Structure 1
């Protein structure tokens, strides 16, 4: 599915949400307490964040950010606490209820890919769950993250003066896709995205 088509980002995000729900249905109780790739959050916490993200509206985001005194970390933590049910399966059920929503914070469409893909991996990798993401969506998320400052959850400072080479994505002439100029940073598209998103991934994944 071309990510540039009108409304394509929501169809892709909805598919990713449904896939994550399917992956999490049969987790053991202990699995929900597994530390995620998102520092300080468990798998259950990340799921609660995804519920909060799916229910966020433009006006609601502005009001919540103001209440959090423009502290994005505090904003996100409040969202987790608001949506984290006593039992993880109840949080998962709530995610299922809101998975088809199309509301969001007043941010670019590419942030929807960042939320769905990065947080999907935050949950899946520690649990050993493999998933194939739509590569065009991953690349759109990379393009967004390399221009977004670290303070806003991106990796602009990491990418500055570096050439990002996605070893599993090729251009029309058959060469690996590259973004930027400078010393090369190589990895699969998904690993580059996680790196740009501040995740502590396997050292051998990025070279």
Structure 2
């Protein structure tokens, strides 16, 4: 079994052993971005335009979101968000959608380049490092790959950390589910929750926890 707990903040795990604890997910973020860029690099124009698992977004829109959300500095994210609100009189909830779609108007090759540049930056110790950034990469990576029936693999540590973070800090309905059910990833060897066990692949569990699938 993969010991996901050793990678989590103190508030999300038990015991006193601090060895191996990390809050720096940049190596994993870099690896994930590289895999996504490799996948996108081989897509046809039709595949770029096809629907993703993220409601209302095409594969290209999701790529634009990743290029902006993970590839931009915190200062750039704030600047772009404030500009979108001021110029478009947009409620904050719509800012991400608008800016992501705008970023996605770049040529596919430019989006791939930006993702690769972000991967290099994270590998070099630059860029945001939290599990939230890793979540963007894993969940939106699946958003791109699954509807195209393309393989996109993440490590057990990556999928497990994203699932546990969602179970601990997600919306109330998600927390309610894992209070009464244990979701066990048969391929990656981790589990989240308590109660009767439901077995599925790590990908299926992540997609369920993030509302991409109605059942697991």
**TM-score normalised per structure 2:** 0.74
Please point out which of 153, 161, 167 is paired with 2:186: 167
The one of the two structures with greater contact order (alpha-carbon pairs below 8 A, sep at least 6) is 2
SS at match of 1:185: strand
> 1 CA distance for matches of 2:156 and 2:25?
13
Contact 2:50 2:58 in 1 (8 A): yes
CA offsets, 1:101-152, max 9 Å, x none? 3323xxx82112211111111101111111221101111111101122338x
Cα distance, 1:82–1:100 mapped onto 2, change above 3 Å: farther
Q: CA–CA distance in 1 between the matches of 2:67 and 2:101?
A: 11
How many residues in Structure 1 have an aligned counterpart in Structure 2? 191
**Ranges in structure 1 where 5+ consecutive residues have no aligned partner:** 171-176
Runs of 4+ in structure 1 off by over 3 angstroms are 2-8, 55-73
Among candidates 125, 147, 168, match of residue 126 of structure 1: 147
Query: Aligned to 2:62, which of 8, 30, 46?
Result: 46
Provide the residue aligned with 2:44 in structure 1.
28
- Larger helix proportion, structure 1 or 2? 2
> Over residues 63-113 of structure 1, what are the superposed CA-to-partner deviations in whole Å (9 max), with x where a residue is unaligned?
656665996641321331331134322322232333333323xxx821122
Stretches of structure 2 that go unaligned for 5 or more consecutive residues are: 1-5, 8-19
Aligned pairs (5 A) from 1:186-205: 186-200=199-213
Distance in 1 between residues matched to 2:176 and 2:96, nearest whole Å: 22
Q: Please list the CA deviations of residues 8-29 of structure 1 after superposition, one character each: whole Å capped at 9, or x if unmatched.
A: 5111111111111111212111
Aligned counterparts of 2:108 and 2:179: Cα–Cα separation in 1: 39
